[in-house]
Amino acid sequence: MLDGFAQTWAGECSAWECDDLGHMNMRHYVHKMDEARRGLVIRLGLTGAYYPGTSSTVRCRDFHIKYQGEARPGDPLRIDSAVIALGESTAKLCHIMTHRDGRTAATVIETVEHVYLPEDKIFGWPKRVHAVIPDFTADIPSPAKARNVDPQFNHVGMSQEALKTAGAKFIGTGVFSAAELDVSDRVTMGSFFGRTTSTIGWFSEGWPEFQDATYTGSGKSGALLEMRAVVHHYPREGDAYIYAPAMISANAYTREFVHNLVDPISGNSWVSMQASACKFDLKARALIKSTEADLAVLQKNILKDVTA
């Protein structure tokens, strides 16, 4: 275990959590990190933060994840967590998910906020948190540092109208359910990721290969490497969303995307995401380089005016 980190979750990758790629779907990595966050917050002294009916809790506002060692059915996993920085009413946390043999499965850096639910306002950490923070504080480990996604980029959360003007297409829609909420009755980060991954097969501009039966039939697909999500407004049960992905750049190794989930009623952004992904060989379990022909097609589909 790294200095300053505490174990906050342990379990396994279950078969039902895996997708057609044969490894744990990205939403379940995030759901487990959501649970690790709760485990760390409780250890910091906020023991009632996740009880039903609580008046205050800790929720995620900014979430950056790197997928580094795929988890497959039956793989034992654990998460260790630490506080990287503590502000007046916010904190930066780090979570490291590892395999039984010590390999890193995924890392997360997230910004959380201490919120008073009756007024939906953030407020300061109590003295008991400040008292124990030294025991749970650490530096960001090298594997958790951003690689292809800018952790400092200021997400604006484009509106429905702005996305349409920039050329983005809305390819998905749905309504958030009770099963997607946390104790604050707001949609969880894992559910945002889940809604994105379950619709990506319709994104032909970013993944034209998915329309080619020869490509998919030969055991090839795409894989997410890294993603950062910023919540602009927290939806509740019964709120609808529409989903617009856009490819903003591409090279031989990776494709960079922006995903926006938007409220179709107000037109405002629920959450925006920066993502880095690659072509993936399911048999070799390895990245596939894009060819010059691939890139020529992709260049026609890039939307430079879409932002997170």
CATH number of the CATH domain containing 219: 3.10.129.10
One domain for residues 101 and 90: yes
Which residue, 90, 111, 145, sits at the end of a domain?
A: 145
What is the 8-class DSSP label of residue 258? E
Contacts of 129 (CB under 8 A, 6+ apart): 44, 45, 46, 86
One domain for residues 306 and 171: yes
One domain for residues 140 and 153: no
- Residue 219: the pLDDT is 87
Outline where the chain has alpha helix (H): 26-43, 127-132, 160-165, 189-197, 213-217, 292-299
One domain for residues 153 and 289: yes
- Residue 144: the pLDDT is 95
* Three-state SS at 5: coil
Which residue, 124, 145, 166, sits at the end of a domain?
A: 145
Closest Cα partner for 260 from 158, 154, 152? 158
pTM of the model: 0.95
Domain residues for the domain of 138 are 1-145
One domain for residues 273 and 178: yes
The total of structural domains in the chain comes to: 2
- Residue 171: the pLDDT is 97
Q: How many CA atoms lie within 13 A of 113 on its CB side?
A: 14
Contacts of 216 (CB under 8 A, 6+ apart): 209, 210
| Residue whose pair of structure tokens reads 């966050």 in the numeric block | 37
Rounded to 10 deg, the angle between the 189-197 and 26-43 helix axes is: 180
One domain for residues 305 and 171: yes
- Low pLDDT (below 70) residues in the chain: 1
Query: Rg (Cα) of the chain, in Å, rounded?
Result: 19
Distance CA 83, CA 1 (A): 15
One domain for residues 154 and 266: yes
One domain for residues 282 and 223: yes
The model's pLDDT over 126-147, given as tens digits with 9 standing for 90+, comes to 999 999 999 999 999 999 999 9
Distance CA 193, CA 195 (A): 6
Which residue, 89, 113, 145, sits at the end of a domain?
A: 145
One domain for residues 120 and 155: no
- Residue 276: the pLDDT is 97
One domain for residues 31 and 4: yes
- Residue 78: the pLDDT is 98
